[in-house]
Amino acid sequence: MGNKRILLTGSSGFIGRHLLDILTKDDNLIFTIKSPKNINYLQNDSKNIISCDLLDVASCRKLIDETKPTHLLHLAWEARPGIFWNSNDNIRWAESSIELFKYFYKSGGLRGISAGTCAQYSWENINQPLKEYISEDKPGTIYGNSKLEFEREIIRFSNLNNYSYASGRLFMIYGPGENSQRLIPTIISSLLVDKNININTDGALIRDYIFVSDAALAYKQLLFSDYNGIINIASGKGLSLFDIASKVKQILKSSCEVKFKESTTIANNPPSVIADINKLAKTIQFVPQIDIDAGLIKTISWMKKKHSA
C-alpha cells in the first residue's frame, strides 16, 4: 500500500480527520487541502498542506500540477447542517469536482475515489435494503442530484478512457467529532447535563448508522482495491431513532426524557433507509468492526471528556 502520492480533500471534515490518521500510518505521501476560507484549519507540520479553493477550476488544476498525485480521494463537498440538502452550492461542487477528476486523470492519475451518498437513491416506497445497480437512482434533493450527476459523468469518463474510479455511497455516520447539531450528539449533549430534549423528527424512523472510523477504513480499503463502480458504505443494519436514544439513556443511566415528534409523512424522509452491503463484503472484503453499542460508548466517552474540558 505504500509509496503512493495521495491527494485527500475534505481532510478537516468528520470522516476526513479519521481517514487522514489512518492513511498516514502507511508509507505514502499524503497531500491535504486548506481552503482559503477555512480559518480554523488545524496546521500539522507532518502533513503536506496545500491552500486551494476547490470550487475554482484554475486552482484545482494548479493543485494537481503541484502535487502530482497517483491517487485522489475526494470527500470535500457542501456539508453545512440544515443547509446542504438544497443548497445551490451543491451544483458548483459537482461542476468543479468533475473538472478536478478529469484533470487528475489527464495528468497521469491512476485511481480516483469519491464520497457518494445514500441520498442518490430514490427514497420513495422503500421496502428492502438499497442495493447498488438494483435500487432506483432518483434523488429528492439538490444535494443527492448533484452527487449523482457528478458520479455518472466520472463513471462515463473513466469507462470511456479506461481509468480506475469508484464511488463509495455513504449512509448515516456517527462517532467522536461529529457536528454538535446532528442527532446523536444532540441527544448525548442534553443527557450529559440532565436535560429533557425534544427531537423534531419521527422516532420510529429506521436508519443505517456506521461508526466513523469504520467508514474511514472502508474508504481506505476501497482506495487500495481494484473495484470500479458504485459501492455502499454502511453497517447494513437498521435501528430506529427511538432505539438509539434508548441505548444512549441506558449507557448514561439517565432518567431524562427524549421526546420525538409524532409520526408524520415527510417528503424525502422515508420510514426506513438501510443498505445492502454484500458488495462491500465480497468485493473489497470489508465488514464494519464496531457495532452500535460499542460505537455509542466510544462517542459518549469522547463527549464526556469534551464537556469536562
Q: What is the domain partition of the chain in residue ranges?
A: 5-173+209-236+278-283, 175-207+238-273+291-308
Q: Which residues pair with 34 in a beta bridge?
A: 51
- DSSP letter assigned to residue 267: T
CATH 3.90.25.10 fits 175-207+238-273+291-308, yes or no: yes
* Alpha-carbon gap, residue 291 to 211, rounded angstroms: 8
pLDDT for 125 equals 86
Helix axes 142-161, 89-106, angle to 10 degrees: 10
Give the residue carrying C-alpha cell 430534549.
197
Contacting residues for 127 by C-beta, under 8 A, at least 6 apart? none
pLDDT for 237 equals 97
pLDDT for 41 equals 47
**What is the residue-level pLDDT of the chain in tens, covering all 309 positions?**
668 999 999 999 999 999 999 998 888 899 999 877 654 544 444 468 898 999 999 999 999 999 999 999 999 999 988 899 999 999 999 999 999 999 999 999 999 999 999 999 999 888 899 999 999 999 999 999 999 999 999 999 999 999 999 999 999 999 999 999 999 999 999 999 999 999 999 999 999 999 999 999 999 999 999 999 999 999 999 999 999 999 999 999 999 999 998 765 555 688 999 999 999 999 999 999 999 999 999 999 999 998 886
CATH topology identical between 5-173+209-236+278-283 and 175-207+238-273+291-308: no
What cell numbers appear for 45 in the block?
507540520
pLDDT for 34 equals 81
Q: Are the C-beta atoms of 182 and 81 separated by less than 8 Å?
A: yes
pLDDT for 139 equals 96
pLDDT for 46 equals 45
| pTM score, whole prediction | 0.94
Q: From the options 1.10.10.10, 3.40.640.10, 2.60.40.1120, 3.40.50.720, give the CATH code of 5-173+209-236+278-283.
A: 3.40.50.720
Which helix (H) or strand (E) is 73 found in, with range? strand 71-74
Distances (CA, A) of 109 to 26, 143, 178, 231: 19, 27, 31, 21
pLDDT for 262 equals 75
DSSP strand pairing (5-9 vs 29-34): parallel
Contacting residues for 272 by C-beta, under 8 A, at least 6 apart? 126, 205, 206, 207, 238
Q: Are the C-beta atoms of 118 and 141 separated by less than 8 Å?
A: no
- DSSP letter assigned to residue 158: H
Q: Of 166, 142, 39, nearest to 92 (Cα)? A: 142
Q: Are the C-beta atoms of 17 and 11 separated by less than 8 Å?
A: yes
What cell numbers appear for 95 in the block?
461542476
